[in-house]
Structure 1
Amino acid sequence: MVQNFNEKPSRFPEPSWRETVELPAFNQLNGNIEADVIIIGGGITGLTAAYLLVNEGLKVALLEADRLLNGTTGHTTAKITAQHDLIYDELMNHMGKSKARLYYEANMGALKFIKETIDKHGIDCDYSEEDAYVYAVTDRCARQLEKEFKAYQKLKIDGGLVDDIPFDVNAAKALVMKHQAQFHPIKYLAYLVKVIIDKGGLIFEGTTAVDVDNGRQPTVVTRDGHRAAGRFVLACSHYPFYDGQGFYFTRMYAERAYLIAAKVDKPYPGGMYISAEDPVRSFRSVKINNEEMILIGGERHKTGQGIDTLEHYKALESFGQDVFGLKETKYRWSAQDLTTLDKVPYIGHITSRHPNILVGTGYRKWGMTNGTAAALLFRDYILDKKNPYKHLYSPSRFYADPSLKTFFEQNIDVAGHLMKGKFESPAKRPEDLSKGEGSIVICGGDRAGAYVDDQGECHIVDTTCTHLGCEVEWNSGDKTWDCPCHGSRYSYTGEVIEGPAEKPLKKLNQVKKSPD
């Protein structure tokens, strides 16, 4: 049975990873603590860093605003690869051959670390070595693949060009990177959580960090007023919870992507694939509850911009039917990630003024390796060890080409959406909405956002983003309010899901509707 995406789902889309692993629950921080290192964020970067540091004998405390692995890491495609779309020819042109090679080495080093950690502990996490492919269906993109292959040759990357892939997608050419991998990220990281706890690490959930007090040592301040002091603070919270006047919101932009996990008719021949063209199509095999399925992703767009988000899920399902003989869609979910001005993550001192506060962000949807590389780099910063990747990832770097062009493009886009939202005149009123429907509405003569839940209660919020005042838009696929300027996201009740916003949307009068 194919899922009907015209039906409005009754719950937030859940990734398959979270539903197949039992994770322990942890208490909120309810007092003040001290440790050697305070880590903010319970995804792959934060947990890997905590694992590395407790193994060095350091006292570590990790604070997670929600539940562990419920953010970007829990919504990944879980490809462990250094093939990050078409990137190496671009890096060579903008940063030079040596930096492009370092980027490859850092990500291959992360892959090696993950494999060695799995082998060391015997972690059952569906790890398999796979070749990774970027494929082109047009002659223009085929020529781009040829340029990328020349970069592979210059950088001594193990790969090559092939004329076809074993799927009905009319590929004109494909570029393979050999000996990459895929796994179940939650099974892998759940074991690291066990090691962290066994070695005395502290983990707190439901604990939102909002600021850093830079006194004798950096001290994280939580929303509830509690304090966590340490020699080092690691900001591993996807979007940095603390900016330190690094103005990260002007140097990154947020994109969303969509995924479905489905049962199909056709056997899967192996490998991990992603298209060079837009709309992006990414696919790999996955085993869920001992059933073989296909994980199909793509449909990227800037957060808060574009078409009705449910259309993206339908487009992925249509692709799955055409290429794989899709029988039944079992799971669907969406993900968000951040891209920096030059497409290389920011990993290191959050600013030069704060040498004991480190940040890892801007993984551009390739967080399994970039996030692991960040954790390895954090360890070396804290232990004062040499690391060849410090300058590559330094958040203070600036390359005039392409950074200046990207900076102006993104901030002009922000200004456009800021003005557009202020002048929109909504046509709907709260009473026009049905159960499960959300929309921008007119309420008391002003623009507002309304959503009617399954019990018929209408939740109305002020649509002005609490970050810098842009107007949020309704995301019907995930039932969230998304900001098109800097990517902040809120629940339908206005609570912050992810930053840079720290405060919830203002709640307006709620309306109790009659049953439909």
Structure 2
Amino acid sequence: MSNNTKLPSFPASLWKEQDSPNTFSPLTEDVLTDVTVIGAGITGITVAYLLAKEGLKVALLEGGKVIGGTTGFTTAKLSSQHGLIYQNLINQHGQEKARLYYEANQKGLSFIQDCINALQIDCDFQTLPSFIYSTSKEMEQKVEEEANAYLKLGINGGFAHKGNLTLPFSINNAVMMRDQAQFHPIKYLNGLLRVFTKLGGKVYEDTRATDIQADSSVVETENGFKVKSNHVIVSTHYPFNDRNGLLFSRLHVERSYALAAKTNEKNIPNGMYLNAEKPTRSIRSAPGPDGKKLLLLGGEGHPTGQNDRDTSTHYERLVQFGTRYFDIEAIPFHWSSQDIFSLDNLPYIGPVKKGSENVFIATAYAKWGMTNGTIAACILKDYILNKENPYTDLFHPSRNEMDFSTAKNFVKENATIAKELIKGKIKRESRSIEELEYDEGGIIQLDGKKVGAYKDKEGTCHILKPICTHMGCDVIWNDAERSWDCPCHASRFSYKGDVLEGPATKPLKRVKS
């Protein structure tokens, strides 16, 4: 990696650098409200805003800072083109449900655009076509099948002429979806937050929910205070109450990477792009802090905590791709995020389980949370207001999703979790703390016990018990993010042990050296 394309020492999101969210105080007393929303990302903020507009009292709880999770680390495409999915949806769910999925995401996109116009939110919204292209013979056939699926479903798009794609490399073919969009997610959600608080909505940061008493809709928090309401919405990306309905056995999580690079603007293609092959390459543009256009590249997904130890290689591959084809000059921002998938690749939106009609979840957006997360908020609002919604059955968490394909996914995912659990317990480490380099972390032996240690740039060692507080799997060191990641259910912890991403709600235990 040349000096001019060297990554900054620590990851930073373009969106968070340009527009920091508002700050709010933590919960300091017990609260009585109509609805408790847990998790202040795109789903939580949107549904809180919608319910406050209806005159309900809403408390929005966030374990860290608002928009501090996946929503602040997205590539921020507003699109119903979620990879080559529509032919698969037809095969698995039938034509009617495949069409409903497209309609739902289009409504999510339209909702965002309507809010931007009505509330006059300046968030770099831009309408653009979205393309999926192939560079191999095998995927060329898949792209053709997808274009035919668009025709069957009446999707606004289809085969794209190669001349419409302004890419700097040759492709075999492409499928296009018209009138999609891109935006700045934090600027947009800050706009909704401002209206929400003006309507009387309450936001509590640094208030991590740790338990829900489902029978009484009481949310318990790490601070020791409780929130009592009629309804509870869990929009924490990975639901922390995932034992309900055995959710943990029906979800899997991937981590992917992104960077924002400087290059000559003539090198940046017009539109949004995704390749059909693996590894994924996502391409779009975005205005930088100085107003000049940046190139955004994303991809390199892998199961969280189950990859090789040197996770920084994923960033390096994106840099190589950008250097080769787009002549990138510098990389001021790079970041990563997690994405959750269901067994049948449709989100889970609705009551967490039958008989718990007062506790709702929204999860498993499969990398496309901007539109899926928005329509989830609209569906959840209708549940609470007891209104009909055309998408409730499609996304219901208790839907019957077990066919041959999903059963195979279920067995494979849970076998992997069992393997990771056992592997972590039997693996022996021989390194000592003295062998760690500065700014290096890993599993070591300390006084005959296995511990997790990170030696920072000043030489201070941060030592933890490397056991995930969710269900007891051994965590592994993520060198790219300087975090401890769980290979079983994808909880993540800082090098100091603090929870970064759930489902875990408790920090890793610290060990005295």
1:254-283 C-alpha deviation (Å, 9 max, x unpaired): 100000000013512311011111111001
Bigger shift: residues 261-270 or 28-37: 261-270
Q: Sort the Cα spacing of 1:399 and 1:24 in 2 relative to 1 into closer, same or farther, 3 A.
A: closer
Structure-2 residue corresponding to 1:513: none
Q: Is the 8 A contact 2:467 2:475 kept in 1?
A: yes
CA distance in 2: counterparts of 1:285 and 1:502, whole angstroms:
36
Q: Is the 8 A contact 1:39 1:62 kept in 2?
A: yes
How far 1:157 moved relative to its partner?
Answer: 0.3
Structure-2 residue corresponding to 1:370: 372
CA distance in 2: counterparts of 1:56 and 1:149, whole angstroms:
41
Q: Is the 8 A contact 1:163 1:171 kept in 2?
A: no
1:354-394 C-alpha deviation (Å, 9 max, x unpaired): 10111000111100000001000011111111100000000
How far 1:463 moved relative to its partner?
Answer: 1.4
How far 1:86 moved relative to its partner?
Answer: 1.1
How far 1:101 moved relative to its partner?
Answer: 0.6
**Structure 2 unaligned runs (5+)?**
none
What amino acid is the match of 1:209? A
**Structure 1 unaligned runs (5+)?**
511-516
CA distance in 2: counterparts of 1:447 and 1:140, whole angstroms:
46
CA distance in 2: counterparts of 1:299 and 1:160, whole angstroms:
27
1:233-260 C-alpha deviation (Å, 9 max, x unpaired): 0101111122362111110011000000
How far 1:108 moved relative to its partner?
Answer: 0.1
Secondary structure at 1:89's aligned position in 2?
helix
CA distance in 2: counterparts of 1:104 and 1:115, whole angstroms:
17
What amino acid is the match of 1:87? I
1:126-167 C-alpha deviation (Å, 9 max, x unpaired): 000011111111110111111111111110001111353322
What amino acid is the match of 1:256? R
CA distance in 2: counterparts of 1:443 and 1:3, whole angstroms:
38
Secondary structure at 2:329's aligned position in 1?
strand
1:99-147 C-alpha deviation (Å, 9 max, x unpaired): 1111000000000100111111121100000111111111101111111
- TM-score normalised to structure 1 length: 0.96
Structure-2 residue corresponding to 1:421: 424
1:465-504 C-alpha deviation (Å, 9 max, x unpaired): 2222221111000000001111111111122211222222
- Alignment equivalent of 2:481, drawn from 478, 483, 492: 478
Bigger shift: residues 157-166 or 130-139: 157-166
What amino acid is the match of 1:228? V
Structure-2 residue corresponding to 1:56: 54
How far 1:449 moved relative to its partner?
Answer: 1.2
Secondary structure at 2:238's aligned position in 1?
coil
What amino acid is the match of 1:481? W
1:44-100 C-alpha deviation (Å, 9 max, x unpaired): 000000111111111111000000001000000000000011111111111111111
Q: Is the 8 A contact 1:340 1:362 kept in 2?
A: yes
CA distance in 1: counterparts of 2:474 and 2:384, whole angstroms:
40
1:304 matches 2:314: no
CA distance in 2: counterparts of 1:139 and 1:23, whole angstroms:
45
Structure-1 residue corresponding to 2:494: 491
- TM-score normalised to structure 2 length: 0.96
Structure-2 residue corresponding to 1:161: 159
- After superposition, residues 45-84 of structure 1 pair within 5 angstroms as 45-84=43-82
CA distance in 1: counterparts of 2:506 and 2:315, whole angstroms:
30
Secondary structure at 1:124's aligned position in 2?
coil
Q: Is the 8 A contact 1:448 1:462 kept in 2?
A: yes
1:460 matches 2:459: no
Structure-1 residue corresponding to 2:320: 318
Aligned length: 505
Secondary structure at 1:111's aligned position in 2?
helix
What amino acid is the match of 1:182? Q
How far 1:214 moved relative to its partner?
Answer: 3.1
Structure-2 residue corresponding to 1:119: 117
How far 1:2 moved relative to its partner?
Answer: 2.5
- After superposition, residues 288-437 of structure 1 pair within 5 angstroms as 288-289=288-289, 290-307=291-308, 308-401=310-403, 402-437=405-440
CA distance in 1: counterparts of 2:265 and 2:332, whole angstroms:
16
CA distance in 1: counterparts of 2:236 and 2:265, whole angstroms:
39
Structure-2 residue corresponding to 1:242: 241
CA distance in 2: counterparts of 1:244 and 1:459, whole angstroms:
31
Q: Is the 8 A contact 1:244 1:350 kept in 2?
A: no
Secondary structure at 1:247's aligned position in 2?
helix
1:44 matches 2:60: no
Q: Is the 8 A contact 2:21 2:67 kept in 1?
A: no
CA distance in 1: counterparts of 2:385 and 2:45, whole angstroms:
17
How far 1:460 moved relative to its partner?
Answer: 1.2
CA distance in 2: counterparts of 1:117 and 1:487, whole angstroms:
33
Q: Is the 8 A contact 1:137 1:169 kept in 2?
A: no
What amino acid is the match of 2:387? K
CA distance in 1: counterparts of 2:139 and 2:400, whole angstroms:
28
Secondary structure at 2:338's aligned position in 1?
strand
How far 1:428 moved relative to its partner?
Answer: 1.8
How far 1:407 moved relative to its partner?
Answer: 0.4
Structure-2 residue corresponding to 1:103: 101
CA distance in 1: counterparts of 2:84 and 2:32, whole angstroms:
44
- Aligned-pair identity in percent equals 44
Q: Is the 8 A contact 1:266 1:324 kept in 2?
A: no
CA RMSD across the alignment: 1.3
CA distance in 2: counterparts of 1:22 and 1:389, whole angstroms:
33
How far 1:448 moved relative to its partner?
Answer: 1.8
| Segments ≥4 residues shifted beyond 6 Å | none
Bigger shift: residues 417-426 or 298-307: 417-426
CA distance in 2: counterparts of 1:114 and 1:244, whole angstroms:
32
- Alignment equivalent of 1:444, drawn from 444, 447, 455: 447
CA distance in 2: counterparts of 1:178 and 1:265, whole angstroms:
26
- After superposition, residues 175-324 of structure 1 pair within 5 angstroms as 175-215=175-215, 217-243=216-242, 245-265=244-264, 267=266, 268-289=268-289, 290-307=291-308, 308-324=310-326
Q: Is the 8 A contact 1:296 1:320 kept in 2?
A: yes
1:174 matches 2:177: no
Secondary structure at 2:375's aligned position in 1?
helix
Q: Is the 8 A contact 2:166 2:270 kept in 1?
A: no
CA distance in 2: counterparts of 1:61 and 1:193, whole angstroms:
12
CA distance in 2: counterparts of 1:480 and 1:143, whole angstroms:
40
CA distance in 1: counterparts of 2:298 and 2:39, whole angstroms:
25
